[in-house]
């Protein structure tokens, strides 16, 4: 029997990610927004405001897409006539 | 007839530096704050990927197609791949276990990830690499900060 050792960060895959993987959307969108705005803005005067706005827009857009897909799969497709 | 379009200048050393270490290219052209933010964004995303998936999520031999995207993060990706080879694949950490495959048996690390954590980590590292490519392309055409002030006005 192989005993699972305690989790070692950066060496082993993080346990229990399968339960909350969708929450990783938020830091991923935040990091992408930081990089994108760092490159695209002419001045960094309103950097954080712009970054937070882009992060919120991205997360909301992905959530809306997920909701639309759920409606399609659970409502629209079951209503289609079966061949 | 005169041409008002200025010839684009390619800042190749800064682009190479920016590829090797995210944000270093912007630092070189005098945009230190921008460079730090690029490092925060790309480095943070890459570290998050490795934290979630482990160093095994960067593997240029087994996940070659993914590594094309991850290699955009330059030094970070190659260093993580080397770490994966030196620490996990050599069996220095964890143990090497036999795994039956079609062509026989191969030895794999007990730390090797095969679930969603590994997939998400691979994806996040790939995203970091592609974001750094955008930063490298930006710094390739970016004049030094002193020259830019005149160009904007």
**A76: closest CA of chain B, how far (Å):** 28
Query: Is B106 part of any domain?
Result: yes
Contacts within 8 Å (CB) and 24+ apart, B8-14:
B8/B141, B9/B141, B9/B143, B10/B140, B10/B141, B11/B139, B11/B140, B11/B141, B11/B142, B11/B143, B11/B144, B12/B140, B14/B139, B14/B140, B14/B142
Query: Is B148 part of any domain?
Result: no
Query: Is B146 part of any domain?
Result: no
Chain B contact probe: residue of A31, A40, A44, A47 with most B CBs at under 10 A: A31
Query: Is B50 part of any domain?
Result: yes
Interface confidence (ipTM) of the complex: 0.87
Chain A contact probe: residue of B37, B59, B114, B116 with most A CBs at under 10 A: B37
Query: Is B78 part of any domain?
Result: yes
CB contact under 8 A, A13 and B56: yes
pLDDT (tens digit per residue) in B83-130: 999 988 888 887 777 777 777 887 778 777 778 899 999 999 999 999
Query: Is B91 part of any domain?
Result: yes
Query: Is B64 part of any domain?
Result: yes
| Angstrom distances, CA of residue A72 to CA of A8, A31, B34 | 40, 30, 42
What's the distance, Cα to Cα, between the start and end of chain A in Å? 50
pLDDT at B4 over 70: no
d(CA A37, CA B34) in angstroms, rounded, equals: 9
In B, minimum Cα distance to A22 occurs at: B120
CB contact under 8 A, B87 and A11: yes
Tell me what pLDDT residue B6 has: 67
More confident residue, B146 or B1: B146
A-chain CB neighbours of B117 within 8 Å are: 13-15, 17-18, 21
CB contact under 8 A, A17 and B117: yes
pLDDT (tens digit per residue) in B19-76: 999 999 999 999 999 999 999 999 999 999 999 999 999 999 989 999 999 999 999 9
Tell me what pLDDT residue B137 has: 96
Domain span holding position B48:
12-141
Tell me what pLDDT residue B147 has: 55
In B, minimum Cα distance to A34 occurs at: B41
**Contact criterion met (CB below 8 Å) for B62 and B108:** no
Q: Residue B96: which H helix or E strand, with range?
A: strand B96-101
Q: What is the pTM of this model?
A: 0.86
CB contact under 8 A, A10 and B45: no
Tell me what pLDDT residue B151 has: 43
CB contact under 8 A, A35 and B37: yes
**Contact criterion met (CB below 8 Å) for B128 and A35:** no
Query: Is B95 part of any domain?
Result: yes
**Contact criterion met (CB below 8 Å) for B18 and B25:** yes
CB contact under 8 A, B44 and A14: no
CB contact under 8 A, A10 and B55: yes
Number of domains in chain B: 1
């Amino acid at each position: 029997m192989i005993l699972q050792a305690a989790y070692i960060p950066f060496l082993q895959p993080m346990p229990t990610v399968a339960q909350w993987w969708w929450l990783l959307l938020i830091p991923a969108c935040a990091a992408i927004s930081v990089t994108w705005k760092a490159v695209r803005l002419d001045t960094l005067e309103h950097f954080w405001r712009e970054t937070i706005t882009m992060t919120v827009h991205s997360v909301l857009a992905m959530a809306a897409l997920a909701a639309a897909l759920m409606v399609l799969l659970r409502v629209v497709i079951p209503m289609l006539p079966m061949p | 007839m005169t041409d008002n379009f200025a010839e684009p200048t390619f800042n190749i050393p800064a682009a190479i530096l920016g590829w090797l270490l995210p944000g270093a290219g912007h630092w070189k052209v005098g945009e230190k704050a921008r460079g730090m933010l690029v490092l925060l964004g790309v480095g943070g995303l890459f570290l998050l990927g490795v934290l979630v998936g482990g160093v095994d999520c960067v593997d240029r031999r087994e996940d070659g197609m993914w590594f094309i995207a991850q290699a955009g993060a330059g030094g970070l990706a190659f260093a993580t791949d080397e770490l994966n080879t030196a620490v996990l694949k050599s069996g220095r950490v964890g143990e090497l276990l036999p795994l039956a495959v079609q062509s026989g048996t191969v030895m794999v690390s007990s730390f090797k990830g095969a679930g969603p954590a590994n997939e998400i980590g691979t994806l996040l590292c790939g995203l970091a690499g592609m974001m750094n490519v955008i930063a490298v392309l930006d710094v390739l055409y970016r004049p030094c900060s002193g020259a830019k002030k005149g160009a904007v006005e």
